[in-house]
Structure 1
Amino acid sequence: MIRSILVALDDTAGAVAARDLALALARATGATLSAATVLDWPHVKDANEAVPPGAAAFKERRDAARAKRLETEAEAAFSACTQAAEETPFTRLRLTDAPAPALLAASATHDVIVIGRDSTLGLEQNDEGLAPVIEDLLREGARPLLVVPPGPAVGGDILVAYDGSVPAMRTLQLFALLGLGDGAAVRVLSVDDKPAEARRLAEEGAAYLRHHGLAAEAVAVEGSHPLEALLAEATAMPARMLVMGAYEHRGLRALFTGSLTERLLTAAPCPVFVTH
């Protein structure tokens, strides 16, 4: 069962949705909640930045303005979290490293990181709609992520992408042990060019979840376009959560590498529980 949640705060729509989902999870499970802002001092106060002669005073004023803006935004995020939390307790974390190392360090004492898909976190840019820190957290971190899109939460069943790979097995186990599917119906989807193999894999994943007391249904899809199959199924259900592993190399595994992972995370209509 989940015991501790780390949520990253800022003012983007996805981060607000992530905050609300983290609060709902804390209320439902009794898990402790840490709400973190990231004040990216390494970029604000770049000691290695080349400064032309006579420009030191300008840099000092610019850095001070940036620092003040981040402090103001952090306080606003904490205030909004307090209002949304009502009686739900949470711990404030004021992180002052760059986003990736800050969240990686904080995650060591938490079960899952909840983060908005479009989060900017301090001075980090996000021109593609997917927070750049997410790739770092997946590649270097030991904790699963719950990547939350903008917009209100949607009810429905949970969709699990399963291909029998080690990351898929690991993700399935974490999902079951953390209790994220408790009380929900779960659909385990497998995609393969061979229908019999798709059915075998889907039933394998569903059987594992049934051993953990979940109502799991196997869904087999014949084909070679797992991205389209997953997005179509998640939209049609509609899914309240998509569960998947990352970084493999065939079938559904080919989906969870590089740009395809990014495309799925960017386009998913619901929060995505993902591990590497």
Structure 2
Amino acid sequence: MLRSILVALDDTEGSTRARDLAFALARQTGAALTAATVLDWPHARDANEAVPPGAGAFKERRDAARAQRLEAEADQAFAACIVAAGDTPFTKQRLTEAPEEALLAVGASHDLLVIGRDATLGLEVNDGGLAPVIEALLRDGARPLLVVPAEPVPAAGGVLVGYDGSISSMRAMQLFALLGIGAGLPVKVLSIAAAKPDAQRLAEEGSAYLRSHDLTAEPVAVVSSHPLDALLAEATAMPARMMVMGAYGHSGLRNLFRGSKTEKLLTASPCPVFVAH
């Protein structure tokens, strides 16, 4: 069962929806919620940055202005969090390390990390639509992520589980079942293969596992050579309110996250994605 949630706050639309989804999960499960801002002092106060002669005073003023802005943004995020929380309790935490180090460290003491897909977190730049910190959290983190897009989460619909029989998809399915975040929701287990019998076997295998955890699971077998397109099409058609998947799958791209199918799916998904490795 889900006992603790960490949600990363900033002013992006995806982070706002991540915050609201984290509170909804906390109310649903009774999990303790920690809301964290990332001030990123190592970059805001870059003591090792080379500056031209005579520019030291300018750098000090610029760094002070950066720090002041980050503090103000954190205050605003916490103020909005209090309004969103209503009577749901939560713990505030200001993280001062760089986003990767900060969230990896604090995330280790939580069951689930919820993050906006477009999060910038401190001074990070997000030009590709997917928060750069997500790569580090998937590569080095011990906990599953719930990556939330800026678009509204469908109020109705079920959960789509992508299952290919890989170790990472097995782990993602197991964590999803054990944490209890799909309780009461209809689930489709989608398996994609080049031959129908293989896809059907995998879909039945995954569905049987989830049913053993008291979830209502329906197997869906698809013959396709384009699994990413098939997953996105099914998620849109349902519509899915959450997708469950294992990072990397059979691709062998654990250390080559950039350009992988995992990154592309996270970027294009029409719903939040629960992802583990």
Question: Which of the five TM-score ranges fits, normalised by the shorter chain?
Answer: over 0.9
- Residue aligning to 1:67: 67
Letter in structure 2 aligned against 1:195: K
- Residue aligning to 2:111: 111
Distance 1:130 1:44 in 2: 22
- Residue aligning to 1:167: 168
CA distance 1:220–1:258, change in 2 (3 Å):
farther
- Residue aligning to 1:272: 273
Distance 1:54 1:254 in 2: 47
Distance 1:73 1:257 in 2: 30
CA distance 1:257–1:10, change in 2 (3 Å):
closer
User: What do residues 113-170 of structure 1 show as CA deviations (whole Å, max 9, x unaligned)?
Assistant: 0000000000000011110000100000000000000132212110000000100111
Q: Does structure 2 retain, via aligned residues, the 8 Å contact 1:249–1:257?
A: no
- Residue aligning to 1:211: 212
Q: Does structure 2 retain, via aligned residues, the 8 Å contact 1:15–1:119?
A: yes
Please state if 1:234 is matched with 2:235.
Answer: yes
Q: Does structure 2 retain, via aligned residues, the 8 Å contact 1:117–1:131?
A: yes
User: What do residues 157-214 of structure 1 show as CA deviations (whole Å, max 9, x unaligned)?
Assistant: 1000000010011111100000011101100000100110000001100000000010
Q: Does structure 2 retain, via aligned residues, the 8 Å contact 1:38–1:96?
A: yes
- Residue aligning to 1:43: 43
How far has the Cα of 1:51 moved from its partner?
Answer: 1.3
Distance 1:60 1:209 in 2: 56
- Residue aligning to 1:181: 182
Distance 1:254 1:51 in 2: 39
- Residue aligning to 1:101: 101
- In structure 1, runs of 5+ residues without a counterpart are none
SS in structure 2 of the partner of residue 249 of structure 1 = helix
How far has the Cα of 1:82 moved from its partner?
Answer: 0.2
* Number of aligned residues: 274
Q: TM-score, normalised by structure 1?
A: 0.97
Letter in structure 1 aligned against 2:83: Q
How far has the Cα of 1:249 moved from its partner?
Answer: 2.7
Distance 2:150 2:117 in 1: 7
